[in-house]
Structure 1
Amino acid sequence: MLVNPGSPGEDTAHRRHIAGRSGIIDSSPEPGDAPGPAARTEQAERLTRPLPEAVRQAVVEAASELIGALPPDEVPMPLRRFARFERRKRAKLAGQPIAALLEKDEDFRLRVAVPLRDAQPDLVEAVENDHVPPAADPVRVAVIAYLLRPAKWTALVEAAREELERSASVSEGEAAERRIAALREEVAAARASRSAEIEKLRSELRETKAEVSELRRKLHEARLKSKAAQERAETLAGDSGRELASAREATAAADKELRKLRARVGQAEAAAEAARRAAREGRNVDDVRLRMLLDTLVDAAQGVRRELALPSTIARPADAVAGVEPSTALHRALPGRALSDDDPQLLDRLLTLPQVHLVVDGYNVTKTGYGELPLADQRNRLVSGLGGLAAQTRAEVTCVFDGAELDAPVAIAAPRGVRVMFSHPGQTADELIGELVRAEPSGRAVVVVSSDREVADAARRSGARPAPSTLLLRRLGRS
């Protein structure tokens, strides 16, 4: 805010020089002269309140524009450090020094008014002659009056203050009316919402009353049913007691009869044991004669084999099936029996079948158990495990791999008892497995290990027994 201390006089010649350059006639009295009318008016008229904020900002901005346009040596000393600032920054930071200098330095104040006189000469003349147009901007009029200080300039500033306050009051009144209208709309909406909510609550209350009535009816029916059930339970309890007594009596009689039967069974077992003992004693001679006959036959067969130079091993039906075999494999067999497909011990019992032939779908098993390994590692791991399985069970084991997975023939050191085969180009491993199964004689136990449904169905149609790959992986894991 601008403060209005008394304006100290400065050097008269300097003030006349400034006024002359600004085009303003200097009416300052010479030393010793009596104060002129303008001086007496300025001394007599003072603002009782600070300038309105809009007027103060306009005055400071006008002075700030002048500071930026003046040569550095003509800028008042208190404001020279602000002259090189940007306009908005200068008006913000130099506001207080500018306000103080405008009150103290009349020449500076008149120089600030020069651009206003050049821009609006008619309005400046009207203000000086006290003939302000009614449509003039009150802020602009108050700025000119403050800078030029004509007669009754304080009245012009106060008139601008009143106009600004009236405009602010009107704006506040309009805002208040808009706020009242908005509040009335909110009240109306709230009343409508409350009415709808009340109606909704009433509807819910009616529904709740109906529900309570229905629950009471159901509760009454439940109590009647409970009473009837309790009566039936008491009746059943009495009947159960009587039946329990009868059952105890029957149990006692059955125990007595059981003891008699056990005595008879003991006597029968003793008689049977005596009969078996007598039969064994009579059969010993026959057993000795049969053993001697078998030994004679075995010796005769060995003699015939040596005489005819027969090989010690025979070819298997699977050897007749064409395939890519990386190495020669030997076979062994062990008797056993089969179970249902969902039995966890299926494979263990299948391997006990007499002369069983285990055909393994190689990549189906490896990709089920450890498909993240390279193909070569998958084959080596499976064939190694099958070698241990063949050594334990002495079953004939054939592992079939798809030859299409190989870029070139590969050699695998198959363990003893394991036959490793690859399908020919243009042939799948599933087709090779089918040929192996069909090559076996009717009645021989053949087990095909594969989780591929087509392979399992084809094996079942050919008389072989399919088994899931998971059973083989589990069996190899225990080896």
Structure 2
Amino acid sequence: MRSVPDDIAISLARSLGAYIGATPAHELPGPLRRFKGFRQQTLATRHRADLLARLEHDALRRRLVDWLDDGKPSISKRDKEILRLACERPKGWRSELERHSRHKKAPPKGAEEKVVELEAQLERERAKVRKVREELKGVKESARAAAASERLVHAELMTDLQDMKKRVTAAERARTEAQAAAEKAELALERDRRKNRRAGEKAASDRDDARAELKEVRRTVRTLKTRIREVETEAQVARARRSSRTKTTPAPPGKRSRLRAPKGLFDDAPESLAAWLQTEGVRLLVDGYNVSKAEGAYGELDLESQRERVVDGVARLARKKNVQATVVFDGSEVPPRTSRKKSGPVTVEYSSAAETADDHLVALLEKWPTVPVIVVTSDRELQERAAAQGATIATSSQFMVLIR
């Protein structure tokens, strides 16, 4: 996109950041997927030009318009209007973007009122044209529908007439044939009566034999069905046992092993996380505020309530899966000298003033034994640092599905 005022560029980057944050990673277009997990402030400052360049793609602009129309984007009314102009690009859209800029020069006295009046007049004329077009369209559709209905009625009447003629002809032919058949049947009936008497005697004997055979077959079928159900039950139990055993990636001695997703599942599926938590000796390490501020989590609550909700959810999951769990929060948001506490099966730790919560979490990974560890965070940078320590990564959204 060519040069636009700085405040307009910031607005567009902010809106794109909101779209990226609100859209699941697998539904994002390829060019935007790499920005998933970035903070909006980072996108608006460091990646603004790259994001604005993506707006030259027609497919992305259409997706953004659908998002504005169908979703509930958490952006301001002004940001929505600016993003819609940049995506739909109606005639004079660049001038409209300039008009939305807060850095523009003041218009001449009286010019704005004149523009508003002209725009209102133009909109009224457009409304008249739209109304006339809709009325004309309705008349045309009514005429077409009436003509189609008449043609359909005529065709149905002709079909009924032809069908009636065929039925009359068929009835006459059937009556003649029926008379001949009745005479022939009378003769055949007597012969059949004699044959039937002989056949009845034989059928009675065959029926008795067939009933005996049928009873035997039914007993055999019941036996086979019972055995089939037993085999199916044994197979289901065997499959359940195999699927509960999560495989790990072989690692050199002294290094932590990364867990693999079960066959047929992706790493970011909630079912994969549930399977990982059944791994023997696995530990759970949670980026507290990243989970509480995830979409659909507890971001609308105060920080203390967010911490309580996250710790309670982790505790329930830890008891259910019988795993050791640790939650790390940023220590700058809690009273001084708060560093570590125990809440049931969960250890809660806070970063010190000399470190960030991310640094504290990575430090725990470095000093823990090389058992499998699942790190829960959607922060891209922290994911990379934790993965370098051999940790298995689960996203905050993936984790929220299990603790809701």
| Fold similarity call, TM over 0.5 | no
TM-score by length of 1: 0.28
Return the structure number with greater relative CO, CA threshold 8 A, min gap 6.
2
TM-score by length of 2: 0.33
Larger radius of gyration between Structure 1 and Structure 2: 1
